[in-house]
Amino acid sequence: MKHLADNAPLKQLDEWDDFVATRYRQGKSEEEFRNYKAEANPTVTEFYRQNHARQTFDFVLQKKAEYCSLSRGKKSIWEMAAYLNTLVDDSDPDTDLTQIEHLLQTAEAIRKDGHPRWFILTGFLHDLGKVLCLYGEPQWAVVGDTFPVGCEYSDQVVFPEFFAANPDSKIPAYQTEYGIYEPDCGLDKVHLSFGHDEYIYQATRRYMPEEAQYMLRYHSFYAAHRHGAYHHLMNEHDERMFDWVRKFNAYDLYSKGRERPNIQEILPFYEELVSEFFQDKIDW
């Protein structure tokens, strides 16, 4: 991937995913968790510095206008997965999973626990939105913990001190508890920082059940699903649906490190699964 170094502090996108998994390592005490900064390497820290400074309310609206109309052409899920797999960054081919392997590993972990077919498929789809990087979007607009824009930043978002450099922090209307939103308005009315979650949600929402839509759209919203922040913007329906987001998150975080999936062996199952929900090419 050729990027301006300034816009690509991570050697590979997965560095962010790995950092998140470390933060929530199973069995970690709350005190250990609060030490996450010691574990963030300089590239991850620089990545968050850019993400928090540049994801403004206006930026989010602009990216939503650009991508949520799904006007970049039609592709099948498999064509998109193959396209995402061309993202190689500086990863080590011997040890690092390819993007498709991460998707299949997540899906397989869900399958082994006997969950419904739509849940397995959600595991397979969940990071396809990272193709934003191949469209030329900078890392800070593709990955990272998501957070609402247009209202006060929660200190439950990692590296909250980096928000001081965001131009929105100087706009008083965006810095009250509710900002531009109404109490308990529901997350559908709230704009989150832009990234791969929103894009895959928009592309697949017409084909997937609502529980899956929540999993896809909010899987990086750690401040809410792990730390209970932003409840004042959620309605009761969101609260119920977030049980599914949390259920999904365990598989996203902890499926890595399991054995490499035998793609040839499991491919027929996934071909049938994908065609059950997506008969044709879809808009991206």
**Binding region for Fe ion (CB under 5 A):** 127, 252
Q: What single DSSP character describes residue 278? A: -
User: Do 186 and 56 contact (CB within 8 A), yes or no?
Assistant: no
Please give the helix or strand (H or E) that residue 282 lies within, else none. strand 282-283
Closer to Fe ion by CB, 15 or 252: give it.
252
Please, what is the minimum distance in Å from the beta carbon of residue 176 to Fe ion? 30
Closer to Fe ion by CB, 216 or 241: give it.
216
Closer to Fe ion by CB, 127 or 168: give it.
127
Please, what is the minimum distance in Å from the beta carbon of residue 219 to Fe ion? 5
φ/ψ of residue 227, rounded to 5: -120, 0
Closer to Fe ion by CB, 127 or 238: give it.
127
Closer to Fe ion by CB, 108 or 127: give it.
127
Please, what is the minimum distance in Å from the beta carbon of residue 197 to Fe ion? 6
Q: What single DSSP character describes residue 148? A: B
Closer to Fe ion by CB, 16 or 153: give it.
16
User: Do 182 and 248 contact (CB within 8 A), yes or no?
Assistant: no
User: Do 189 and 196 contact (CB within 8 A), yes or no?
Assistant: no
Please, what is the minimum distance in Å from the beta carbon of residue 257 to Fe ion? 13
Please, what is the minimum distance in Å from the beta carbon of residue 225 to Fe ion? 13
What is the three-class DSSP state of 39?
helix
User: Do 108 and 266 contact (CB within 8 A), yes or no?
Assistant: yes
Please, what is the minimum distance in Å from the beta carbon of residue 281 to Fe ion? 23
Where do runs of H (alpha helix) occur along 85-153? 99-112, 117-125
165-176 as b/e: b if 16+ CB within 10 A: ebebbeeeebee
Cα Rg of the chain (Å, integer): 18
Report the first-to-last Cα separation within the chain, whole angstroms. Answer: 21
